Copies of this chain bind each other. A is one copy, B any other.
Amino acid sequence: MAERKHSSALTRKLTAFIALSPEELSWIAELESKRTTIKRGREITEEGQSNHNAYVLQEGWAQTYKVMPDGGRQIIGFPIPGDCVGLRSVLLWTSDHSFSAVTDAVVSSVPGTRMLELFREFPRLGAAFLWAASRDEAMVVEHLVNIGRRNALERTAHFFMELAERLMLVGLATETEFKCPLNQYVIADALGLSAIHVNRVLRELRELDLLTVKTGKVIIHDLPGLRKLSGYRSVNGRSTPSIAKS
């Protein structure tokens, strides 16, 4: 939709909320300039460190999660390009989750102190990041409701609906299919289920002619059916009140 000038995913996202000055834009660009490639599976932050970076995901899939004492883990979310990870840790001065690459990925890492400087120098960016953080929080809340109050079938369906919609917004999905590198173990850790049960549920979704999940690819057979089953409500509508005067 929006004509995408050649700009980073992050600035494209933020400008949806607030018009950024050239100076602000160039600072952000500089923050993002230091890019690193990370191999799939690599963990980027561990819980409990105390000197923090923030990361902007540029390419690839990642996951944020917490590990339990018994070795299990709960995946919080799957950042996609343009998403910011670890800002919370910077602000709260305590790393409360881990972050790793699901596929090979490219990230820019920003020292926490730089991030705080940025807010000092360009306070308007505080509001912009607040808006972005609110979107993230809304996603976590949705995830919470999904796990707390839906059974495995609805839950899984809902999960893929949400994923599809997010990816569509970035042009990475169509109405009928999208690429998806998540295996059943990862899906299980995200949905609070066992991998075995995920397998059963995926089979059932397939048998109901709703959704087929193969390695690397998801095919949507019956969108209205899925929507009905999962109680999914799209989060559309203009999502930008726009605090910029003009």
Contact = CB atoms under 8 A, between A and B. Distances in A.
B135 A92 contact: yes
Interface band, chain A: 35 or more
8 contacts: A72-B149, A74-B145, A88-B137, A94-B235, A96-B142, A119-B127, A144-B147, A147-B192
A88 B180 CA distance: 29
Question: Which of A90, A125, A192, A231 counts the most chain B CB atoms within 10 A?
Answer: A192
A171 to B, nearest CB: 21
Contacts of A140: 137, 140-141, 144
Contacts of A130: 91, 119, 126-127, 129-130, 133
A2 interface: no
Copies of the polypeptide in the assembly: 2
Contact of A149 (B74, B96, B137): B74
A134 interface: yes
Nearest to A123: B123
Contacts of A192: 147-149
A96 B126 contact: no
A76 interface: yes
What 8 A-B pairs have minimum CB-CB distances, sorted nearest first? Answer: A126-B127, A126-B126, A123-B123, A148-B192, A130-B130, A119-B127, A74-B148, A74-B145
